[in-house]
A and B are shown apart, each in its own frame.
Chain A
Amino acid sequence: MRTGAVNALYATGTFVVVLLAWQVIVSALHLAAYFIPTPLEILAALVSERVVYAANLLITLWSTLLAFVIATAIAVILGALVSEVLFLRRTVYPLLIALQSMPRIALAPVIIVWFGFGISSKVVLGAFTAFFPIFLNTVHGIATTDRDHLALMRTLRANRWQVFCKVKLPGALPFLLAGANIAIIFAILAVIVGEFLGANRGMGYLIVNESNQMDMAGVFASIFLLSAAGLCFHYGLGFLRRWLLFWAASSEPDADGS
C-alpha cells in the first residue's frame, strides 16, 4: 500500500516536471500559439470552451462504450459457439480469421456510407474493430481449459452446458479480460477515426475543426481529454478485472498504468 502511494507520488512529480519544462521552453523560445501552445493556454481553452468539450466528449465516450459492449457481447457469444460447435469452427472461424487480417480502420469510409454521419457508423466501426481481440482471446481461453478440470467434469457425467458454464467460461475469463483491455483502446481509436472522416459531433469532429482553424490549444485540449478518457477506461477495466478475477493470483505489474 505504501509502495503504491510512493509510486503515485513519483508519477505525479514526473508529470508536473514535464508540464513545467514544456511551459518554460515554449515561452522562452517564443513559439507561435498556432504551432505549439503552452500548458496554460491549453488549460485556458479547456475552461473557456468547457460546455462544447463536455458535449462532444460525451458523444465520443458514449459511442465507444456502446461499441465496446456490443463487441464484447458478440465476441463472447461467437467465441463460445466457435469453440463448442465443430461445424462453426470449420466454417465461421476461418472466415473470421481472414477478416481479422484486414486493416479494419480502412473500412471506415465504407461504414460511413452505409451507416451515415450519426453515431451509429462510429459504433459499428468501433465494435467491428474491438471485436477481434476479445473473440480471439475467448477462443484461446476456452481451448486452453485445464484438462484435469474437464476430466473431473467427465467423471461426474456433466453435460456440455454444465461444463461450459462451470469450467470453460470462468477459466477463459482472464483471457477474455486481457482481450477487453486491448479492445477498449481499439474502440476509442476507431470511433475517433470515424469522427474524423464524417461526423457532425464528437471529439474527432472537434479536433478536425480546431485544426482547420489553427486552434492548436483547442486540439491539444481535445487530445488531453481523450487521453484522460483512455486512462479512465483502462482503470475501469482494471477494477473490473480485480473484481471478476479475485480468485486468480495477482498478475498486475507494479508500475501498472502510470
Chain B
Amino acid sequence: MSAAAQRLSGNPGHAAAVRILELRTVRKTYRTLRRDNIVALSPTSLAFEAGEFVSIVGPSGCGKTTLLNITSGLLRPSAGAILFRGSTVDGPTPEISMVFQRPVLLPWRKVIDNVLLPVEVLGLRPAQSFRERAAELLAMLGLTGFAETYPRELSGGMQQRVAIARALIYDSSVLLMDEPFASLDAMTREELNLELLRIWEVTGRTIVFVTHNIPEAVLLSDRVVVMTPRPGKVSAVIPVPLPRPRSLSLLGDPAFGCIVSEVRELLRVRSEVVARAGEA
C-alpha cells in the first residue's frame, strides 16, 4: 500500500498517486578554496506524489538544506535533473513555494502586506479577493487582529506563522519547508505542527519538510527520508503507515515509538559507519 493511498482513509478528496515532483540522480559538489571538490550531495533520486507529506531528517551537514534548495530551483545541481509534473525545472517557479528556517519577513511591511508580497510580485488579481484570503489565512494561523502590526512586534513563533501564510497565499502545488520550527520552543512547535497538519489536510498541497527532530518528522509525514552526512546521501526512506488525522496523542502510541526508534537507529548506525570509515 502506498503512503498516499494509506492516507486516503483519513483524507478524502485527494486523487490517487500522481508523481508531482521528481529528483533524478541529483548531485551537488562544491569547490573549496583549495580546489578540492566537496560532495554536498551524492547522486540522489527521490519522487514525491501529489498531496504527500514527506520529511527529510538527518544531522546538520548531511545536505538536507542543499537538497531542498535544489528542489526549489534556488540552487543548481552539479548533475541530474528536477522534474515538476514531468517537465524539467531550471530555476525557481511559483509552483513551488518555500518557507525558510528564519521567517524572512520584510520588517518595513505590515503583517498583511508581508503575506500579500507574493500576490504583488506575481501580479495576481483581483487584489481584493487575495486580501480576503490573506485575512482568512491569518485567522487560520491564529493571527486574527495582527494584520496591521509590524513583524518586530511579533514573537518568533508568530513571525513564522506569517511566513507560512505568505507561502500559502498563492496556489503553489508544492510547499518546501526548511526546518521552519527549529528556533521555536517545544510547545509552540507542537502547536504549529498540528496547525501545519490541518492546513495540509485542507489545502491538499505536497509538503517536503526538512527537520532534525525525528518525532516531529514521524508525526507529520507519510514518508521519512533519512539522510546521512559526508557525503550527504539518502540512506533510507521509511513509510509511516499511521492513521490520519493525527494528533499529539499519537506520541504515546507504540507503533509511533517503533517508527521513531527505527529512524533513530538508522541515523545512529549510519553515523557510526561513517565515523569508523573516517578513522580507517
Write the residues of chain A forming the contact surface with B, with a CB cutoff of 8 angstroms: 146, 148-149, 151-158, 162, 166-167, 170, 173, 246-249
Contact = CB atoms under 8 A, between A and B. Distances in A.
B106 interface: yes
Contact of B100 (A148, A157, A166): A148
Given A148-B100, A151-B74, A247-B109, 16 more contacts: A149-B106, A151-B100, A152-B104, A153-B121, A154-B74, A155-B72, A155-B96, A156-B117, A157-B92, A157-B93, A158-B121, A162-B120, A166-B117, A170-B108, A173-B108, A246-B150
B185 to A, nearest CB: 22
B210 to A, nearest CB: 15
Contacts of B92: 154-157
A175 B72 CA distance: 32
B142 interface: no
B98 interface: yes
Contacts of A148: 100, 102, 104
Given A148-B100, A151-B100, A247-B150, A156 B106 contact: no
A152 B98 contact: yes
A113 B212 CA distance: 70
B169 to A, nearest CB: 11
Contact of A247 (B72, B73, B94, B108): B108
15 contacts: A148-B102, A151-B98, A152-B100, A152-B104, A153-B121, A155-B72, A155-B73, A155-B92, A156-B118, A157-B91, A157-B92, A157-B121, A158-B121, A246-B150, A248-B152
B122 interface: yes
A130 B98 CA distance: 42
Contact of B121 (A166, A246, A249): A166
A155 B104 CA distance: 13
A248 B107 contact: yes
Dominant SS among interface residues on chain A: helix
B94 A156 contact: yes
A162 B150 contact: no
Nearest to A147: B104
Contacts, number: 56
A50 B104 CA distance: 55
Which 7 A-B pairs rank lowest in CB-CB distance, beginning with the nearest?
A: A247-B108, A156-B121, A148-B104, A247-B107, A158-B121, A155-B92, A155-B98
Contact of A166 (B96, B106, B122, B152): B106
B97 interface: yes
Contacts of A248: 107, 152
Interface string B109-146: 10000000110111000000000000000000000000
Contacts of B91: 157
B152 A249 contact: yes
Nearest to A246: B150
Nearest to A154: B92
Contacts of A158: 121
Contact of B120 (A151, A166, A173, A247): A166
A155 B72 CA distance: 7
B253 to A, nearest CB: 36
A149 B117 contact: no
Contacts of B121: 153, 156-158, 162, 166
A58 B117 CA distance: 45
B247 to A, nearest CB: 32
A240 to B, nearest CB: 15
A130 B62 CA distance: 50
Contacts of A146: 104
Contacts of B98: 151-152, 155
Nearest to B151: A247
A173 B109 CA distance: 14
Nearest to B91: A157
Interface string B73-113: 11000000000000000011110111010101011110000
A80 to B, nearest CB: 17
